[in-house]
C-alpha cells in the first residue's frame, strides 16, 4: 500500500501496530491486555513471564497508539470542518437571450379610450395585436387592430409600429414610429359644412423612457405628429407614467398617467380652427394571472363638451345641432386582456 504524505498519522499507527504484533509472537496476549490488568492480584504467574522492560514497552505502545488514534480522529474532524473545503455554491443560471420572438394578444374593453377621448362612442371594443421582436427585443415591428366608432365611420383602426428598445441598467427606452390607419372612411359633410378630413390617417414619432427601482417604474413619453388626424394641425403629446407592482399581491399593480396634449391649427379646408390643448389623466388597478390581465381604470380630461366636439366632430353633436360631445368626459373602463409570448410557449427556443 502506498501512503501519501498527508497520511503521516496513519503511517505512525501502522508502524506501532506492527511493533505490537511482533511482541505478540513472543508473548501471547501481550497486546490484547490493558496495562491496568498487569498489576491486578489475580494476574498471578502471567506477569512473571515478562521482563520489566517488556511491560514498559507494552505501556508505551498502548499510550502511543492511543495518542495516534486520537490525533487521526482529531485531524479528520478538523479537515471535515475546514472552511476552505466548502461545497461550491451552485452557479447562477446564465441569462438566456432570445434572438427573435413574437408577442401577440387580444383584449376586450368596455370603451376604447385614446388619450382621454372615446374611439368607440362609449361602447365596448375588441382589439388584437402582434409584434415581432429581434435581438432580444432591441428591434421590433408590430401591428394592432381595434374596432372603432368615429365620425368618419372607418371599418377599423389599424396601427403599425416599429422601433428600437435599448436598455442601460435600470433604464429602458423606446424610440420609434406609429402609423394610424382608418380604412374605408367617409368624410362627414352636413348641410354643405365639412366636419372632417377625407382621410384621418396619421403618423407619429415616439420616444419613451422608463426607470425601474424594485417594484416601482416611472416613465416619460413624447409623441409628435405634423398632421394630427389629417387636419393639418401639429400635435405633441407628453406624459408621465408610474406603475407599482404590489409586493403583498403577486401579479397586482397600481398605475397611472398624467399627460398634456398640445395641438395646432387646422388647414383652411376645415376652417383654420385653433384646436384646444388639454390635460388628460388616468389611474387604475390591475391583476395579472399567468397570461390574463384584468384592468380597472378611471379616465378624465379637462375638456368641456364643446371643446370635445371641436376635436371629435361627434356625429351626435353635428346632427342634433348641439355642437357638443360627451366623448371626452370622465369614464370608468374595464379591460380584460390575454398576452402570449411565443418563446414562453416553446415555439421559439432561447439561444444557448
Show the domain range for 175.
100-343
User: Are 176 and 299 within one domain?
Assistant: yes
Let me know if residue 104 belongs to a domain: yes
Question: What's the rounded Cα separation, in Å, for the pair 42 and 3?
Answer: 43
Contact 99, 136 (CB under 8 A): yes
Which grid coordinates belong to 173? 427606452
**CA-CA-CA-CA torsion for 339, 341, 342, 344, nearest 10 degrees?**
-120
Q: Of 214, 217, 208, 206, which Cα lies nearest the Cα of 166?
A: 208
User: Are 214 and 316 within one domain?
Assistant: yes
Q: Of 132, 178, 137, which Cα lies nearest the Cα of 157?
A: 178
User: Are 260 and 144 within one domain?
Assistant: yes
Let me know if residue 88 belongs to a domain: no
User: Are 166 and 282 within one domain?
Assistant: yes
Question: Taking the CA of residue 6 as centre, how many other CA atoms within 13 Å lie in the half-sphere pointing to its CB?
Answer: 3
User: Are 205 and 303 within one domain?
Assistant: yes
User: Are 239 and 335 within one domain?
Assistant: yes
What are the pLDDT tens digits along the chain (352 aa)?
Answer: 544 444 444 444 444 445 445 544 544 544 554 544 443 434 444 344 444 444 444 445 444 544 544 443 444 444 344 444 555 556 555 556 668 899 999 999 999 999 999 999 999 999 999 999 999 999 999 999 999 999 999 999 999 999 999 999 999 999 999 999 999 999 999 999 999 999 999 999 999 999 999 999 999 999 999 999 999 999 999 999 999 999 999 999 999 999 999 999 999 999 999 999 999 999 999 999 999 999 999 999 999 999 999 999 999 999 999 999 999 999 999 999 999 999 888 776 555 4
Q: pTM score, two decimals?
A: 0.72
Say how many domains are in the chain: 2
User: Are 111 and 65 within one domain?
Assistant: no
Let me know if residue 91 belongs to a domain: no
Beta strands in 110-251 (DSSP E): 113-114, 117-118, 125-134, 139-146, 157-164, 167-168, 171-181, 189-190, 193-194, 202-213, 216-225, 235-245
User: Are 270 and 318 within one domain?
Assistant: yes
SS3 239: strand
Amino acid at each position: 500500500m502506498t501512503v501519501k504524505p498527508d497520511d503521516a498519522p496513519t503511517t505512525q499507527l501502522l508502524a506501532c501496530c506492527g511493533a505490537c504484533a511482533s511482541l505478540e509472537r513472543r508473548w501471547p496476549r501481550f497486546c490484547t491486555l490493558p496495562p491496568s490488568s498487569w498489576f491486578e492480584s489475580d494476574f498471578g504467574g502471567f506477569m512473571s513471564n515478562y521482563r520489566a522492560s517488556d511491560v514498559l514497552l507494552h505501556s508505551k505502545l498502548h499510550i502511543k497508539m492511543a495518542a495516534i488514534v486520537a490525533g487521526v480522529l482529531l485531524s479528520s474532524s478538523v479537515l471535515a470542518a475546514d472552511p476552505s473545503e466548502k461545497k461550491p455554491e451552485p452557479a447562477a443560471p446564465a441569462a438566456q437571450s432570445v434572438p427573435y420572438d413574437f408577442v401577440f394578444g387580444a383584449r376586450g374593453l368596455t370603451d376604447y379610450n385614446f388619450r382621454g377621448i372615446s374611439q368607440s362612442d362609449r361602447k365596448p371594443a375588441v382589439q388584437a395585436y402582434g409584434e415581432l421582436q429581434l435581438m432580444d427585443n432591441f428591434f421590433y415591428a408590430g401591428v394592432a387592430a381595434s374596432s372603432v366608432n368615429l365620425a368618419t365611420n372607418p371599418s377599423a383602426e389599424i396601427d403599425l409600429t416599429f422601433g428600437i428598445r435599448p436598455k442601460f441598467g435600470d433604464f429602458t427606452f423606446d424610440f420609434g414610429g406609429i402609423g394610424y390607419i382608418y380604412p374605408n372612411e367617409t368624410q362627414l359633410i352636413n348641410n354643405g359644412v365639412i366636419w372632417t378630413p377625407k382621410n384621418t390617417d396619421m403618423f407619429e414619432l415616439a420616444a419613451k423612457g422608463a426607470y425601474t427601482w424594485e417594484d416601482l417604474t416611472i416613465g416619460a413619453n413624447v409623441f409628435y405628429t405634423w398632421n394630427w388626424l389629417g387636419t393639418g394641425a401639429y400635435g405633441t403629446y407628453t406624459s408621465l407614467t408610474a406603475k407599482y407592482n404590489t409586493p403583498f399581491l403577486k401579479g397586482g399593480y397600481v398605475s397611472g398617467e398624467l399627460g398634456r396634449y398640445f395641438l395646432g391649427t387646422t388647414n383652411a379646408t376645415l376652417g383654420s380652427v385653433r384646436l384646444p390643448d388639454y390635460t388628460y389623466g388616468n389611474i387604475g388597478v390591475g391583476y395579472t394571472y399567468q397570461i390574463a390581465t384584468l384592468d380597472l381604470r378611471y379616465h378624465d380630461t379637462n375638456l368641456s363638451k364643446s371643446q370635445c366636439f371641436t376635436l371629435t366632430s361627434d356625429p351626435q353633436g353635428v346632427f342634433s345641432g348641439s355642437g357638443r360631445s360627451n366623448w371626452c368626459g370622465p369614464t370608468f373602463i374595464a379591460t380584460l386582456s390575454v398576452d402570449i409570448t411565443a418563446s414562453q410557449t416553446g415555439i421559439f427556443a432561447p439561444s444557448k
